[in-house]
Structure 1
């Protein structure tokens, strides 16, 4: 039961930050000038690159923290602030989405578009990286660490599925429905951010 609870916690955190349903309209906007065949190639490459990148950064997170002399509590505090900022951006504006769409329309290079901005930073951004490193670092045994990696894999499988059925999903939900889902996710993301921040702050205060 403990493992199941931890997996659900990890999966929900990663899923909310990556936000597969909320990013469907943006994915379609970024690939609107591509053919269906190009769109599928972009989707496969972007999903694979995003997943591999996040898995690598998750596993090597502790090593990276040691190099930069950053504590886990420090990462929690910084991550909490970052995730809260991202949640506010999702709730109150579309600036990030407009920026990505404008940049993508400058070129339809399949490889470049799959890498940026779809894989990075849309689906594997600073928020996902921070959350994954924190989750993996706090996992107390090998099974829990594997569950964190599994939650990442499952999330990106869902990303790929949303791409395959993106047009149908948008028809069912509508653009407003997708935006509503994205904003509901943002509320939960804000709550996760607050938990990260205060857990890290309490850890820092305990050392005083």
Structure 2
């Protein structure tokens, strides 16, 4: 029971840092600025649902995809670690890539599609999050997989709450406060990324 609890905490913490609900508050507000409240609600619900479903699918089907493309778990750990490290650097140095997604979202003819791109993909269920759920669910039993699913659901409940209370949170945190939280999480994400890379390299070398 203790091992399962520790695993759940690890899964939840990893996904929370990668998906970064508090740090994405400014992005969500920028993309939905000036929209009708009902439209914002629909975009939020659609984005969180799509993001959660994508990750849950990869919890159970991730291995099948890897086998189809002949990808080893060690390679996925190394590649995923590198991608997550890039994401952490991007957050630390001002989210330049996310600014591009925001501009694309603002110019979209179909505003409702913002829920799919860039919110659900790639902000809330990007390569880092997908890699994380595949790695977390690899080599664990059904209970472990269900704990990863529970972690995914809990993180997306928090994402939805940050959308609902985004205006209030921004008033409390301010843009600088939100940026500080995002950068602290980015440092933790960078450390987790390095662990993924080292673990993948050591496992690969040991198997030779």
**When the two structures are superposed, what TM-score results if normalisation uses the length of structure 2?**
0.97
SS of equivalent residue, structure 1 residue 23: helix
Q: Which moved more, 1:173-182 or 1:30-39?
A: 30-39
CA distance in 1, matches of 2:181, 2:167: 16
CA distance in 2, matches of 1:10, 1:201: 21
Cross-structure match for 1:87: 88
* Cα distance, 1:111 vs structure 2: 2.8
1:7–1:151 CA contact under 8 A, matched in 2: yes
SS of equivalent residue, structure 2 residue 22: coil
Cross-structure match for 1:148: 148
Cα displacement string for residues 80-107 of structure 1 (whole angstroms, at most 9, x for unaligned residues):
1111111111101231221112111112
Assess, with a 3 A threshold, how the Cα gap between structure 1 residues 148 and 30 changes in structure 2: closer, same or farther: same
CA distance in 2, matches of 1:158, 1:15: 9
Cross-structure match for 1:133: 134
SS of equivalent residue, structure 1 residue 22: helix
SS of equivalent residue, structure 1 residue 133: helix
Cross-structure match for 1:167: 167
Cross-structure match for 1:16: 17
What value does the CA root-mean-square deviation take over the aligned residues?
A: 1.0
Does residue 63 of structure 2 align to residue 62 of structure 1? yes
Does residue 44 of structure 2 align to residue 34 of structure 1? no
CA distance in 2, matches of 1:86, 1:117: 15
2:14–2:189 CA contact under 8 A, matched in 1: yes
* Cα distance, 1:109 vs structure 2: 2.3
CA distance in 2, matches of 1:22, 1:13: 15
How many aligned positions are there?
A: 207
1:26–1:101 CA contact under 8 A, matched in 2: yes
Cross-structure match for 1:100: 101
Q: Which moved more, 1:90-99 or 1:18-27?
A: 90-99
Q: Which moved more, 1:37-46 or 1:91-100?
A: 91-100
Any stretches of 5+ residues in structure 1 without a counterpart? Answer: none
CA distance in 1, matches of 2:99, 2:75: 32
Does residue 44 of structure 2 align to residue 43 of structure 1? yes
Cα displacement string for residues 171-205 of structure 1 (whole angstroms, at most 9, x for unaligned residues):
00000000000001100100110110011101111
**When the two structures are superposed, what TM-score results if normalisation uses the length of structure 1?**
0.97
* Cα distance, 1:145 vs structure 2: 1.2
2:59–2:145 CA contact under 8 A, matched in 1: no
